[in-house]
Chains A and B, each alone.
Chain A
């Protein structure tokens, strides 16, 4: 662990990644204290100060009902991160179990599970999430559900590939000879060897979940007002280009910064842990 930290800190790019991720997480957690106008996350309207370009104290300008854009972006990070964590917390266990079962048990189980995975993988992710989200009601919970349905297959693929090669290894054969149960072999013997890859992928994916969720809300399939949401902010602001550029530029940059941070960090982890995604 200490080794990991040391390597991370020795590479300037991963330091930047750490800093960005740290900032994003910090501002999401402590948004209530950092945001100059914490009440603007909700239903506040101020028609004496609406649609204004950046100025003090609204350093990112104000939106169409006079709320502080900077404060809203901080709170939007909170929602995005929460969504990312929940999606991964559901998708990873499902994907890992499917991958392990298919890779280790083989035969019909493998065929059925991997074709099912293929089905999900062969609908372009955004289209699948859109269908789920659009047909149900656009709420935060359904958003998580939609993104989860498209996320687990990637973990299934990843773990399946590792399991296939690992199950030929001596230690698995040894365990089989002693008569260890299949469950034991799958979860106690093979799974630990998948962990580095899974951790790396999760770091990268936290960024991508944010990205996909913002894409969904950009298409109008996101959380409801007044909850701040980066994708909807960009979509809404897009109607007011180029005159009210701040409405789109700052939320766009906010997405970019967050995802970039997770990618830098994930990249660094991949090099250190050697996880192959």
Chain B
């Protein structure tokens, strides 16, 4: 073994010296290497999770972008927009070309929206309210809504514009004249205007992207020439690769201990707060949690302080901050950051006494998502916390796919589910409507099956009223109501933490005045700066 190993090792050392000698003068290209969990979905109409969002925001563009370091939206593919009742009109830039060379026009926007609605996956529910969309002229497009929807423009952040001509040339087999709507093609190929082109894509392993020289905006020179996004690396692997200088930015899914170790080794920590939180959701249709008092007992027994301790990375960086209610601090309607939730065992005991059930009769099922190991620790924390109240519980591990299936029926939905939910467009409506409106019960984000008339009314008010002050008032009231009836334990306000090598600077993830406040947008590669040309 030894001799063999040494020979191989020696061969490799000499080989890599050769490689260095050969490579140094020739390549002046910068490569950025990062990782995410599998699968990387390239079809923008199916994009839903973080990996998909990274791909989408770099390969495709949207009509608007979030403002950096401030609330609000700024123009992107659209120069300007206006609303007239339920009609929303966008004026498009006329100098944008797709990566294929086709010019971008209003037709492409119409096509992208129809495709999104037709496929009905990913975040298409954001556009269920769109009655029709039409190209007024080559560079003007009009959306007509069924019902008033105040934050409509922000949902444009989730409508990537697809190259209609290219897709139509590559339609696959399917029912109807649109065939498969280009699903087969777009799952492996790009058809966007984005700052990065796809060089190769394997949803299980890696997507390689290269800078798009013809992008309609200027891309700084320091932005990486090539980006390699790898999927499904083990934390221990990422930890070592970064320490050895062979990896640049980790995913946000590293456990806090690993981030801690990396930062001790000198890695920088990047953060992104995407307006979301850690929600411990209680099934309000299942005894004993159908009694509000029992739910309040559990939420008062939850050890918020230990939770914060568990996710701390260093003294000043953490994967979250104390929650103050249902709405994360900083979002419309949120409570101030001084109103930390805290454990209160006396209150918990009072509520438990008021509960019409006897705790001995129940065994609470605490589920955790198999893909998120941190949740197992929260499950144990809760089990210990609830034990102190005299409530028995059992822990159940569920793969994500199975969880999503089980929550479709209230009787299969576990008593307690743990979820990370965020506002996909940054507006509280996209955080709360999906979770708490009674019409949306039984999706992955609403395993509470909450059915509360007050909550429904307030959600509606926030959606319909276009006046910001009135919306804020509605969301404040909603926040209070959600605290009073406790369908959820509001664990903490979440912040994504990434470990990165010093080869890359990411202002959008390190400088609060450059932050987008939208999950995944911080990974706009064109705004990153590589530190060395190796």
Contact = CB atoms under 8 A, between A and B. Distances in A.
B376 interface: yes
Interface stretch (B23-31, B254-262, B463-471): B254-262
B236 A238 contact: yes
B381 interface: yes
A225 B397 contact: yes
A247 B258 CA distance: 13
A113 interface: no
B381 A240 contact: no
A45 B397 CA distance: 18
A243 B238 CA distance: 13
A75 B220 CA distance: 59
Nearest to A238: B236
Given A243-B257, A243-B261, A225 B235 contact: no
Interface residues of B, number: 27
A99 to B, nearest CB: 37
Contact of A43 (B236, B257, B383): B383
A66 to B, nearest CB: 10
B257 A64 contact: yes
Contact of A239 (B234, B384, B397): B234
Interface string B302-327: 00001001100000000000000000
A243 to B, nearest CB: 4
Contact of A224 (B234, B257, B373, B397): B397
A43 B387 contact: yes
Contact of A240 (B255, B309, B393): B255
Nearest to B310: A47
Interface in A232-263: 236, 238-244
A138 interface: yes
Contact of B370 (A65, A220, A242): A220
Given A240-B236, A240-B257, A243-B257, A65 B397 contact: no
Interface in B364-422: 370, 373, 376-377, 379-381, 383-384, 387, 393-397
A80 interface: no
Contacts, number: 64
Of A43, A47, A240, A244, the most chain B CB neighbours within 10 A belong to: A43
Contacts of B395: 43, 224-226
Contact of B380 (A225, A239, A243, A244): A225
A236 B380 contact: no
A89 interface: no
A236 B394 CA distance: 19
Contacts of B306: 45, 47
Nearest to B381: A45
A257 B67 CA distance: 60
B257 A236 contact: no
Interface in B214-270: 234-236, 239-240, 255, 257-258, 261
A65 B370 CA distance: 17
A44 interface: yes
A51 interface: yes
A224 B394 contact: yes
Interface in A190-229: 220, 224-226
B265 to A, nearest CB: 10
A236 B383 contact: no
A50 B394 CA distance: 22
A239 B236 CA distance: 5
A42 B395 CA distance: 11
B46 to A, nearest CB: 25
A221 to B, nearest CB: 10
Contacts of A224: 394-397
Interface string A52-79: 0000000000001100000000000000
A51 B240 CA distance: 19
Nearest to A241: B236
17 contacts: A42-B383, A43-B395, A44-B384, A45-B306, A45-B380, A47-B309, A51-B257, A65-B381, A138-B397, A226-B395, A239-B234, A239-B258, A240-B236, A240-B258, A241-B239, A242-B240, A244-B257
Interface of A: 42-45, 47, 50-51, 64-65, 138, 220, 224-226, 236, 238-244
A-B residue pairs, 6 tightest by C-beta: A43-B383, A241-B236, A243-B261, A239-B235, A45-B384, A47-B306
Given A51-B257, A240-B255, 17 more contacts: A43-B395, A44-B380, A44-B384, A45-B381, A65-B380, A224-B394, A225-B397, A236-B373, A238-B234, A239-B235, A239-B255, A239-B258, A239-B373, A240-B257, A242-B240, A243-B239, A243-B258
